[in-house]
A and B are shown apart, each in its own frame.
Chain A
Amino acid sequence: MTKNIINIGIPSKGRLRKDILKIFKKNKLNLISERGERDLLGSIKNLKNIKILYLHAREIVERLGDGSLDLGFSGYDLLKESEINIQNKINVSKRYDFGKATLVIAIPDPWIDVQTVADLEEIAFEFKDKKKKRLRVATKYPNLTREFLFSKGVTQFKLVGSLGATEAYPFTGSSEIITDITSSGKTLRANNLRILKDGEILKSEACLMISKSSLKNSLIKKLIKSLSK
């Protein structure tokens, strides 16, 4: 059975949205929003059975996972951070050359004795054994952070969820170190943080993703082809 309406998710805000809209323009797909730029629903001119939904980039991944979106644009980091049952339901059709950022571990710059994750592992045990506390890691990416730290031998830590301004956490007593997404490292440096030498968790960029349940739809295939150019 072919679905009549195809739902495409586009990030509703920011740089990512702008760059993605450019792809549509380049492919002569005219996006229309009846109520102007703040409209969260839209369509493509002359393609009546396509619906555009403007959503938070994290939510686009979720909706692709539950099949309510057929196609979506989001960050590779957000896909990898999502739960495994969601990841299993999504294919990445194209990794673009924009939206580039890296998820990294950053520590307070004055910790000059800590250069690598191996140092961090020792510090984590010092916290546990001598201070009887856990090293706290603030992050918006708990899953990726947990996996990475564990694979590098850091087992003794506590994650602290953060929704924004994570860089301030080590200096407000909310955590000791952080993981965060960065493109130039400038914000981290400005906040007295330093990226560990081997502290790169994941390289990310904007991606075109498809819900696996929509893989067979011929119109979707066509769309992917043109949006991947």
Chain B
Amino acid sequence: MKLKNLSENILKSVKTRGFKYIDLPSVIETNHIVQRSGENFRKFIFSFIDQNGSELCLRPDLTIVSCLRYLESNLKGKEKIFYSGQAYRKSQNKKDSIIRDQVGFEIIGSKDEKIDDKEIINTSLKSLQNIKYSSGTLTIGNIEIFNLLISKLDIPKRWKLRLSRHFWREKYFNDLLKRLETNSDVDPTIVEIDKKRYFKMLKENLAKVVAGRSINEILKRFDNKIKDPRGTGKGKNVSKIIKKFLKIKCPINEAANQLNKFFKNNKINLAVDQKYFPISNNKISKLNVVFSASFGRELEYYTGMVFKIDIKSKSKNRNIINGGRYDKLISDLGSRKQVAAVGAALNLNY
């Protein structure tokens, strides 16, 4: 009952900000999830086969379902929507419930990205007014800044792509940095042996396909790989810069300042304006607002601004709202065009 009241009050708050309520299907094709988030996501989903042999699953996440709706209904233009319901996920942690009650709101297909980011944060703050808490933190990050930094670093392109792809997986990312420091993925002895093979293969039919890859493709990549010109010193330096960047954490009004100082000190040709951030107040009601450069690592689909709200309630810290920008999600799900999207989900089982 308490949950129902809370949910209704939050829905009311969201509605007053001009969002339209939509219903979402509980069951979706598993393929959408696996195509998007990879095979490992299977561990978390409840899937089953229907009478036609198609694999379906209970929705593990409402955002993906909402984006699927936008895509499959051939919607165009801006939509401000909200929804509520349960998401179903298996968890390794026995204490976690498999059912998660959520309220979500999103702005899809709009061009005013900065304004929308603000709108989603403001709607989150408004929803939060329905919840009792003593203090809390609104943490803001931005994956775009990380990707910009990576693009400016002196490392081969494939390393840049690799680091950007795995920003969201902290443990593996740290392994990558270690590898970057030692350049251990190019083994000189093996390269020598394979060079002979390389020259032999150059004389073969380059269009021939071996297990889905043409000889031409294989040789091209081989060539790029052995031309990796880095000495180990360079890799170490780049890794140091990335680690330093990820440690940046400060009150939000100092974010631009701190970042610009960092860019200058490390001779990186980048500058950020404070207006880039959706908020510049360090305190909003009972929340401290901070910027964290390393934040945004929970979900693979975030592409730009990310935020979370943690509150202290009944002397416990609880994560209550998570959100951010996911401009590639709809195209990853199958849209030909990239569709801008930003949203947040409020966890009702806090």
Interface of A toward B, CB cutoff 8 Å? 107-108, 110-113, 115-116, 118-119, 121-123, 125, 127, 131, 133-135, 146-147, 149-153, 155-159, 170-171, 175-177, 197
Interface of B toward A, CB cutoff 8 Å? 34-35, 37-40, 42-43, 158, 161-162, 165-166, 169, 172, 175-176, 179, 185, 187, 190, 194, 197-198, 201, 210-213, 215, 218-219, 221-222, 225, 300
Question: What's the Cα separation between A151 and B38 when bound, in Å?
Answer: 12
Q: Are A121 and B162 in contact (CB under 8 A)?
A: yes
Once A146-B40, A153-B169 are accepted as A-B contacts, the answer to whether A115 and B190 lie under 8 Å apart by CB is yes
Question: What's the Cα separation between A176 and B209 when bound, in Å?
Answer: 11
Q: Report whether over half of chain A's contact residues are helix, strand or loop; otherwise say mixed.
A: mixed
A-B complex: 9 closest residue pairs judged by Cβ atoms:
A155-B38, A113-B222, A170-B211, A150-B40, A113-B221, A108-B211, A176-B211, A176-B212, A112-B194
18 additional contacts (CB under 8 A) given A113-B218, A150-B40: A111-B210, A112-B197, A112-B201, A122-B158, A122-B161, A122-B221, A125-B161, A125-B165, A134-B35, A146-B39, A146-B40, A150-B38, A150-B39, A153-B166, A170-B210, A170-B211, A171-B211, A176-B213
Question: What's the Cα separation between A121 and B42 when bound, in Å?
Answer: 19
Closest residue of B by beta carbon distance from A153: B172
A49 vs chain B, min Cβ distance (A): 37
Q: Are B187 and A115 in contact (CB under 8 A)?
A: yes
Question: What's the Cα separation between A119 and B221 when bound, in Å?
Answer: 10
Q: Are B201 and A110 in contact (CB under 8 A)?
A: yes
Residues of A within 8 A of B40 (CB): 146-147, 149-150, 155
Question: What's the Cα separation between A122 and B197 when bound, in Å?
Answer: 21
A-B Cβ contacts below 8 A, count:
83
Q: Are B187 and A197 in contact (CB under 8 A)?
A: yes
Q: Are A108 and B210 in contact (CB under 8 A)?
A: yes
What are 30 contact pairs spanning A and B, CB under 8 A? A107-B211, A111-B210, A111-B211, A112-B198, A112-B201, A112-B222, A113-B221, A118-B162, A118-B179, A118-B185, A119-B225, A121-B162, A122-B161, A123-B213, A133-B212, A146-B40, A146-B42, A147-B40, A150-B38, A150-B39, A150-B40, A153-B169, A153-B175, A155-B37, A155-B38, A155-B40, A157-B39, A171-B211, A176-B211, A197-B190
Closest residue of B by beta carbon distance from A145: B39
Question: What's the Cα separation between A158 and B212 when bound, in Å?
Answer: 14
Question: What's the Cα separation between A151 and B221 when bound, in Å?
Answer: 24
- A153 contact from B35, B161, B176, B211, Cβ within 8 A: B176
Residues of A within 8 A of B37 (CB): 155
B104 vs chain A, min Cβ distance (A): 24
Question: What's the Cα separation between A177 and B219 when bound, in Å?
Answer: 18
Q: Are A159 and B225 in contact (CB under 8 A)?
A: no
